[in-house]
Structure 1
């Protein structure tokens, strides 16, 4: 049942926006959760975590009023304004961005929609009274402010044409339109279901700043731990139908979980100590035990039955044996690729060495997946070469999902790659055992692949990839559709993986833990390399962005992502492995830039050349010439720094 209350009625302290008391909900065969109670206060920033399938999205829909509870009560502040961002944006066939924005139950949004449509129909001025009435309502209810807010949000998200059909938008663009629709109207409470899906890092950080600048309460379901840590003041954890609430951000939540587990472990150690003594007593003969012992034996049986189940296999024991990598792994020479007029990469050279872990970043549409496809030889370069060593076995985890018959069982799908996998300690696991380690219990092994959810399919694809025992992993958004426990499982596995990893990801916590260097694409053919972690790159970019421009000149766009050492390697230390590789390639990169500079200078000096006849092309060439000069200065300074520390 749902009850409204007058603001502040029956409550003290911070105003409660919504209160859920002893609610239960069943979907499908069994209950999702039962007897769940919690409240949301004004301005509270809540992160909602838990394994997939435990009812997080369902609870958001109950809070939004889209679903009824089976039992319990939901009490809302009177006139509570709630906006929700769905995990998958939905629109009607043929909808434009504008149609999508104004398809809302919010009265002010509907007023703005009616006003704009009336204005379009009244171009001849025959319906002036209606326009005047609507104009008056727009002024009173803030319709003009909302209209401006929509335009401003879309502009910040680089969406300028509202007539574009939603059906033609990429996942990232559709998500941006959905964010504008959610953030535009005034609200007391925002409900955000996986808001960072399909967004690049810059847009995620833009969203964080927007949420922090508002005093609006929100509940966010997300697997983005960096997001949870930066924004949330409360964590809700749902697992097995039970909900727990923790004050603090995600790091504080983990600390409290660790403390709670330590108490459980201590109780278990004490119980096991008592049990050892009791079992020794039980082993004695009846005469040695003496007296009536039924109650004592019953207590021993209860203690034995109360033992926790076998703990999940540690990731150390899940370390697989690896195929040996030779001296030559992957050599990239002069790589160039474009899709139509858009350059992805231009004259890029690199030699991959054993044990490297590279994260690839860049705006949506900049060509991150294309880089992986080129390395995997699923795309053909326009120029340059990519050569593999003879011992290289690539495992490519892409975003396309399963490419097999839907009627294949889970086990059959994995066994098509291998029926057994050798572990680092020399033991072997069967495909069934390996599936169990990745949360596929034996009871599900006969289930058809076609009946799996999106997250389950991607997890199964990961199992098949790893059981093939590759020594070079190419990972394209590997954390998409995974819950946090599955991401942690993957990270622990990768931490012991002895081969090379190149991963595209917008998951900043994943990049922070996995990558020791970064490739950053700008969508214009430039690929910059950074030696260090994501956090170090982010700090450097923030520092350089904060610097004042010199002599009125705009700040260099390339400076924040220039090849540089991270804070973890101060100037007095010897070169790290990654820095030695960087030093080897910097001179080649500087030479390539000098060649581009000379080529442009020759074009500038040609009075009958193409640049002399095309003003726009000449201006673009001038801008590129300036960028090249900046890059040469930065790379030369970097080379001098590294060279001064080399042996």
Structure 2
């Protein structure tokens, strides 16, 4: 296949109101399983938001709720004024199988309008790497990557100030992904983007909404890497023995010898600390793996809690080691 994807011809919609979507105390459950629980947020004009989480955590459901295509269990969703939505469907249900590629994009003729200019459908589709013979073939003959490019061709013809993309990079080649990134960065409207492609998210979005699959929904500034860094960084807690050690230092310490169990503990502490640090590093490395969030068996919040617990146990162990070592020197 020859040619280069050209996504420069995007129909930009009219400017939306400053508030695009307002969700208040939004909740949704399915078969007694919380998908979204008490989520409140305001999406402003120009926001580019990534939606992330494990497979099955409810990312597509959240999009449907925010677009008012799905009724919430409780809470409200309000849309701003002059909203024009273009929606890239993850399930590719928008492709009409028996129509040709050209008929899918231009069902009423052989031309399309791009920013007020007429363009022949075959010329437009060539920008998306469709040769004339492919453009005239039934859509059911397309490969996965070709179907994704067909949807992009349809998407960018829609006048829109809110783009909603659900897994748009699935089956796309690297060149198309890079050019899609450029087009989204140039887009002046608002973007809601679901993707497992971490690099794609980091290059495009300015904020992240993360779902834990148990109803929890949190917002973060930055992209996927920023969220991952926050998740894998243990929360700081007061060292459990810091205050008691300071109190001991203000008093005149009484010289004493180690008890047998303390002597045994002192001997075992270095190995114990080494094992806990190895466990901490293993979990951190696992959370930084590219496929970590694709595996539904992983538990980001559970792993984060393990990191917090390990970090505090390590601090306690070091404090105990220091204290017992000091007594042993008496």
Which TM bucket (shorter chain)? 0.5 to 0.7
**2:171 maps to 1:495:** no
Report the Cα distance in structure 2 between the residues aligned to 1:324 and 1:416, rounded to whole angstroms: 27
Relative to structure 1, the CA distance from residue 314 to residue 466 in structure 2 (aligned partners, 3 Å threshold; closer, same or farther) is closer
Q: How does 1:609-624 map to 2 (within 5 A)?
A: none
Unmatched runs of 5 consecutive residues or more in structure 1: 1-50, 52-239, 241-310, 553-626, 628-647
Q: Match of 2:233, SS? A: helix
Residue 366 of structure 1 corresponds to 57
**2:143 maps to 1:421:** no
Relative to structure 1, the CA distance from residue 406 to residue 534 in structure 2 (aligned partners, 3 Å threshold; closer, same or farther) is closer
Q: Match of 2:122, SS? A: helix
Question: What does the per-residue CA deviation read over 1:303-355, in whole Å, with 9 as the maximum and x for residues that have no partner?
Answer: xxxxxxxx84765x435433221234222122110111211111212221111
Give the conservation status (yes or no) of the 8 Å contact 1:325–1:471.
yes
Aligned-residue offset at 1:503:
0.9
Residue 606 of structure 1 corresponds to none
**2:113 maps to 1:409:** no
Residue 200 of structure 2 corresponds to 510
Q: Match of 1:359, SS? A: strand
TM-score between the two structures when normalised by the length of structure 1: 0.35
TM-score between the two structures when normalised by the length of structure 2: 0.66
Unmatched runs of 5 consecutive residues or more in structure 2: 242-304, 306-330
Question: What does the per-residue CA deviation read over 1:379-425, in whole Å, with 9 as the maximum and x for residues that have no partner?
Answer: 211111112234111111122114454220111101138942333xx
Match of 1:388 among 65, 76, 79: 79
Aligned-residue offset at 1:434:
2.5
Q: Match of 1:329, SS? A: strand
Question: What does the per-residue CA deviation read over 1:204-246, in whole Å, with 9 as the maximum and x for residues that have no partner?
Answer: xxxxxxxxxxxxxxxxxxxxxxxxxxxxxxxxxxxx9xxxxxx
Report the Cα distance in structure 2 between the residues aligned to 1:381 and 1:417, rounded to whole angstroms: 37
Report the Cα distance in structure 2 between the residues aligned to 1:449 and 1:312, rounded to whole angstroms: 21
Question: What does the per-residue CA deviation read over 1:438-488, in whole Å, with 9 as the maximum and x for residues that have no partner?
Answer: 111223221101111122112211211221122111111111111111211
Q: How does 1:258-407 map to 2 (within 5 A)?
A: 312=4, 317-407=8-98
Report the Cα distance in structure 1 between the residues aligned to 2:119 and 2:19, rounded to whole angstroms: 30
Give the aligned CA root-mean-square deviation in angstroms.
2.9
Residue 250 of structure 2 corresponds to none
Asked which structure has the greater CA Rg, the reply is 1
Report the Cα distance in structure 1 between the residues aligned to 2:121 and 2:84, rounded to whole angstroms: 20
Residue 226 of structure 1 corresponds to none
Give the conservation status (yes or no) of the 8 Å contact 2:5–2:129.
no
Report the Cα distance in structure 1 between the residues aligned to 2:112 and 2:95, rounded to whole angstroms: 20
Q: How does 1:538-617 map to 2 (within 5 A)?
A: 538-544=228-234, 550-551=239-240
**2:194 maps to 1:521:** no
Question: What does the per-residue CA deviation read over 1:65-85, in whole Å, with 9 as the maximum and x for residues that have no partner?
Answer: xxxxxxxxxxxxxxxxxxxxx
Residue 294 of structure 1 corresponds to none
Match of 2:226 among 520, 526, 536: 536
Count of residues in Structure 1 that have an aligned counterpart in Structure 2:
243
